[in-house]
Each structure stands twice: as structure tokens, then as C-alpha cells.
Amino acid sequence: MAVLELKRISKHFGAIEALSQVDFELDGGQIVGLMGDNGAGKSTLVKIMAGNFPPSDGEMLLDGQPVHFHKPVDARVAGIEVVYQDLALCNNLTASANVFLAREQTRGFGPFRILDDRAMNERARELFAELKSETRPAEKVRTMSGGQRQAVAIARTHLSRAKIVLMDEPTAAISVRQVAEVLDLLRRLRDQGMAVVLISHRMPDVFGVADRIVVLRRGHKVADKPIEASSPEEVTGLITGAIRVA
Amino acid sequence: MILMNHDPSVRDGADTSPTPLGRRTRAALHMKRGLAFLRTWFAAQPFWVTVAVLIICAVMSWLEPQSFPTRDNFFNITRNFAYIGIMALGMMAVIITGGIDLSVGSVMGLAGIVCGLVLQAGHSWWLAVLAGLGSGALCGLINGLFVAYVGLPSFVVTLGMLAAARSFAVVLSENKMIYDFGPDGDIFNAIGGGEIAGISNMVWLLLIMAFVFGFVFRFTPWGRHVYAVGGNEAAARLAGVAVNRIKLQVYTLCALTAAIAAVMVVGWQGSAINALGTGYELRVIASTVIGGANLMGGEGGAYAALIGATLIEVIRNSLLMAGIDSNWQGAFVGAFIVLAVLLERIRGSRAD
């Protein structure tokens, strides 16, 4: 059974139809590459799943149960985490402080509680080790490479044992060498049974890691097939409209 | 190296003890940690400001052995920066979030007048203190509401409060000095004007507050969230930090520290005037910046506020002692502000 199921989702902004009648399914242990040109509806779809705004029409089922997200926190509580393109990290804090931001571990008694940095660093170290990333928990994010920052952002989603991770252009702003590191991170998330959505413009990345590919064009889903059954040429055609549907 | 030499496993390299290597690496790890600690400490602005304060004090003690290194002068210097330091602690919280509060001087003036009026009306000292602190906190709450929930820039909101609070102070005082403090006046004056163990009460209060602020900034989730808001507000919001509530709280806290300073200063001087605190916002902001706060937010701490305020007062006092016309003070303090930020910039670029 699908972890997350979107049925006939539509979204209008005034007269503009950003999404129309889109069906979308996510399974655990699978990476879905979500592709499409600017304005095709990728971010609208992601924002609906992330709880930024509700769909105008259609329904969303999580583990078979209908869900309605009114704000991002609702989605997060339900087990859906988003890793944003700009990574949304606080440069002035350490890696572990970022991982635990707004879910800090504390020690003490009653209302007298202080931050338990030692425990948080230790837990963050484990998370980074799981991700096979050389990221030091007590180091400030400011000094980190793109790949390490990505690991911090992903470790955040790991901390909450999310079921679904939405990755918004994770390889857009980093060097070629670090791209491989990030794609490895995605594979590890999949191997741990998570459902991963990879939103990307970069054809090689999607064909490198995705198990399935979904293409949006002008708010419509024009393809949804196993990656083996497609090709970069076909996807390019679908994105630009040279191929109508596949 | 000292640590290593004391480690027996180093002396007897071929020792048969079970964990020579373990011990050795542990010692090295300890040293590495110690070095890392030293490195962050050396890289921190407050350290260098402390060095500057110590150097100025040493030079002045050498130049003016009769007047500078005396008990009286020490008492004066510490008392003169204590109330600025108290306000700088609250200001630091605001600046760490990436905001600014220009209204602290005026809020101090208003809170002082409120204290004076309550005492003049014959009420008890604690009611005067409560009313003073309450009026200050209310100003901060208004600032915070406009910044956090209406979304106006803090510069504009607090500039408005700078004018408004001063105006309230003038209106409430009917533009008169208040010095008849009624039956509880002596107790009230003893709070701000008194001393314990040869150190002004104001200085004790500053030290206690600096300790509390330092603890809260460093060791509580609330403190961490304050830094997170200044580091990346959007990220903090996405992570689930109650950004608006934090902002409301820091502006309220900042104004509250201004009111605390007012209670102490009015008690020390034994009178309340509506011009109290005029221009102090600049001294307070200068203290935080010299101490190492970043006006873009995300950096700073309680000790930074304390040592920044100290440096400004030590410079002022030294110039007076050296017989330099007091009108030059502004030029020196101004030069130090720019120098402090310049140093920060240079060290920052090297770290990158």
C-alpha cells in the first residue's frame, strides 16, 4: 500500500490553475524523481504535501487515512519532512543545534531545564554516521561544505523518523563532487525504507538515483513510470511538450 | 606538550601496559579540546576587548598612580557603567535576534518619572518599583507587538517609541523635577544608591544579571532560539521556533532592563528628571557592538555586553584623568566602535 496517496489534486490561485487532477503515489523505500519546467506545478505539489497550503480539490491519504494539513507543522507531525533548496539552516549555530532546532533535548528537573548539548551532539554524531557523512556535530554550519550542510538538513528529517522526505533541488547549489555525496545520502534514506521525492532539474541526478519518474507539465501529470522504462530524451520531450504524454 | 610529557605511555614507548595507545590518544584528545577551546576564545571579540581594558587600566595606573588605581575611582567607574551594562544585556537579546531598540533611553526616562510620581504620591517603595518596571515593560510589549506581529522594521518602531516615551515622561512630570519622594523615599534611594562590601548595588545587580543572561543565552532552549532567529529567521520558523513570540519577548525584556536601570539611577541620584537617559541608546548599542555583537544578528553574548560597557567607561574615565577636554570623549568612543567592527570584519574574512 502506498504511504502517501494524492487523488485528483487540483490547486487554483485565482484564475490560474497550478495543478489539475493530479494523482500521485509514494511508496516506502523508493525514490521518485519529480520533474517539470518552471511553473509546471512541482513546487505547488510539494507545498501541498508539506502543508504550506491545502489543495483546492482532491484528497490526500496517508497510510490509507484521509489527512488535511493546515500548516507545515501538521505535515511534520504526520511524518512528512521537507529539505528546502536553500537548506534553511542557521549558520551561526552548530550542526547538532541545527539538527535539534525547536526539538532540543534538555536535562534537569521540573521547570528547571537546560540544554543537553552532550546528548544532542552524541545523537547527531550517530545520525551523521548513519548517513556516512563526515560532519562534526559541534562545528558551526557556517564553515561547512554544501554536502555537509545537506547532511545536516537530512539528519533533521531523520531525527523525527520521518516516513516521507521531500527534497527540493538538493543538488542545485553545490559542487559536482558534493553531488555524488548527496545522491549517496538519498540512497541511504531509501534503503532505510523512507519514501523520497527528489525535485530536480538535473537529468543525470534523477536518472542516477530515482526508481520512478513523474513529469508535470502545465499542471498536468504527463508521465509516471519506472525509470528503466524512460530515458532522458523522453523526459526532455515531456517537459518541453514535444511529447504529449507517456 | 606538558600533558604529553606527564603521560607515562610516552616515556616508555614499548610499555606492555594494556592500553598505552588509548591513554595517549585520550591525552591528545584532551589537549585538542583544550586547544579548540583556546582557539575559539582567542578568536572572540570579548577576549580582545578584555585585553584592551586591562592594557588601558595598566597604562593609566602607571601614568596616574595617585588617582586612577584607587578605591574611589574603581567605585566610580564600575557604578558609571553598571546601568549602561544592565541595559546592554537587554539590548543584546534584541540585537542577537537581528533587531535594534532605539527607545531604551526614553523608556528609562519614562520609567524613572513613573517611579518618582508614585513615590511622590506617598506610596510604598515596592509599588514605585513595580510601577516603574511595569511602565517600561509595557513600552517594550508595544515595540514587540509592532515588530513581531505587524512586521514593521524594529528601527522604525523603536524610533517612534523613542519620541513617544520621552513625550510621555515630559507630560507626566509636567516638566518638573521630582525629588520629594515621600515616606518610602529613603528605602527607594538605598536600593540604587547603596553599596555592599564597597561595591555599588548597581554593580552587584549588573553582575547577577549578566550571570543570569549568560546562563539563559548559553544553556536554555529559549536562548538558543534567540540565536536561531538572528541566524536565519526563515529557517527558525520552518523548524518550528516560535519566532514571533521570541521577538515579543526580547523587546519586552530589553525595555524591562531599561526600567531596571531607571529604578537604580533614580534611587542613586535621589531625584527623577524627564531627561533621564537621553542619548543613552547610543552608549548602550555601542557597548554591545564593541563587545562583539553583530548588528546583522546571530552573534553576541552577556559577557560581550558587560565588557563593551566597561571599555567605554574606562576610556571616558581615562580621558578625564589624562586631562583631555571631555568634549573629545565622543570622538574616542566613536573611533572604538568603528575599530571594533573593523576588527571583527578582518577576523571574519580570515576565518572564511
Chain A residue closest to B300 (CA)? A92
Range with lowest mean pLDDT among A119-123, B296-300, B338-342 = B338-342
Predicted pLDDT of residue B247 = 96
Predicted pLDDT of residue B168 = 95
The C-alpha angle with vertex B33 and arms to B29 and B35, in degrees rounded to 5, equals 115
The C-alpha angle with vertex B299 and arms to B262 and B214, in degrees rounded to 5, equals 55
Range with lowest mean pLDDT among A66-70, B7-11, B45-49 = B7-11
Predicted pLDDT of residue B1 = 35
What are the backbone dihedrals phi and psi of residue B197, each rounded to the nearest 5 degrees, phi first? 55, 40
Predicted pLDDT of residue A16 = 86
Question: What integer is the mean pLDDT of B25-47?
Answer: 67
Query: At B20, is the pLDDT very low, low, confident or very high (cuts 50, 70, 90)?
Result: very low
Residue A184 in grid coordinates: 549517496
Domain that holds residue A8: 4-89+157-240
Chain B residue closest to A77 (CA)? B240
Chain A residue closest to B294 (CA)? A92
A239 within 8 A of A222, measured Cβ to Cβ: no
Pairing type for strands A212-217 and A220-226 reads: antiparallel
d(CA A154, CA A148): 10
Predicted pLDDT of residue B24 = 58
In sequence order, the 6+-apart residues with CB closer than 8 A to the CB of B54 are none
Residues from chain B that touch A87, judged by Cβ atoms under 8 A, are 235
What are the backbone dihedrals phi and psi of residue B19, each rounded to the nearest 5 degrees, phi first? -130, 60
- Whether B220 has its CB under 8 Å from any CB of chain A: the answer is yes
A104 belongs to a structural domain: no
CA nearest neighbour of A160 among A62, A73, A95, A79: A79
| Chain B interface test: which of A52, A81, A90, A116 (most B C-beta within 10 Å) | A90
A141 belongs to a structural domain: no
Q: Among the ranges A105-114, A206-215, B11-20, B63-72, which has the highest mean pLDDT value?
A: A206-215
Interface predicted TM-score (ipTM): 0.79
Contact between A88 and B234 using a beta-carbon 8 Å cutoff: yes
A145 belongs to a structural domain: no
Contact between A91 and B232 using a beta-carbon 8 Å cutoff: yes
Question: What integer is the mean pLDDT of A151-167?
Answer: 85
B110 within 8 A of B135, measured Cβ to Cβ: yes
d(CA B256, CA B209): 12
Question: What integer is the mean pLDDT of A86-109?
Answer: 87
Contact between A89 and B235 using a beta-carbon 8 Å cutoff: yes
Q: Is pLDDT of A84 > 90?
A: no
Query: At A103, is the pLDDT very low, low, confident or very high (cuts 50, 70, 90)?
Result: confident
Residues from chain B that touch A88, judged by Cβ atoms under 8 A, are 232, 234-235, 238-239
In chain A, the number of structural domains is 1
Contact between B239 and A93 using a beta-carbon 8 Å cutoff: no
pLDDT in tens, B146-200: 999 999 999 999 999 999 999 999 999 998 888 888 888 888 888 888 889 988 8
d(CA A84, CA A53): 16
- Whether B225 has its CB under 8 Å from any CB of chain A: the answer is yes
pLDDT in tens, B242-291: 999 999 999 999 999 999 999 999 999 988 899 999 989 999 999 999 89
A148 belongs to a structural domain: no
Residue B227: which of A72, A76, A93 has the nearest Cβ?
A: A93
Q: pLDDT exceeding 70 applies to what percent of chain A?
A: 98
Contact between A115 and B239 using a beta-carbon 8 Å cutoff: no
A83 belongs to a structural domain: yes
- Whether B281 has its CB under 8 Å from any CB of chain A: the answer is no
Alpha carbon A16 to chain centroid, angstroms: 26
Quick one: B250 exposed, middle or buried, by C-beta within 10 A (0-12, 13-18, 19+)?
A: buried
Residue A114: which of B220, B238, B351 has the nearest Cβ?
A: B220
A178 within 8 A of A145, measured Cβ to Cβ: yes
Q: What's the gap in Å between the CA of A43 and the closest CA on chain B?
A: 16
Query: At B7, is the pLDDT very low, low, confident or very high (cuts 50, 70, 90)?
Result: very low
A106 belongs to a structural domain: no
Entry field: residues in chain A: 246
Predicted pLDDT of residue A30 = 92
Residue A195 in grid coordinates: 519514501
Predicted pLDDT of residue B155 = 95
CATH of the domain at A69: 3.40.50.300
pLDDT in tens, A231-241: 888 888 888 88
Predicted pLDDT of residue B15 = 39
**Amino acid identity for residue A149 in this structure:** R
Please, what are the domains in chain B? 47-351 (1.10.3470)
Range with lowest mean pLDDT among A113-117, B132-136, B344-348 = B344-348
Question: Residue B135 is inside which H or E element, if any?
Answer: helix B125-144
A204 belongs to a structural domain: yes
DSSP class of A25: E
A112 belongs to a structural domain: no
Predicted pLDDT of residue B6 = 39
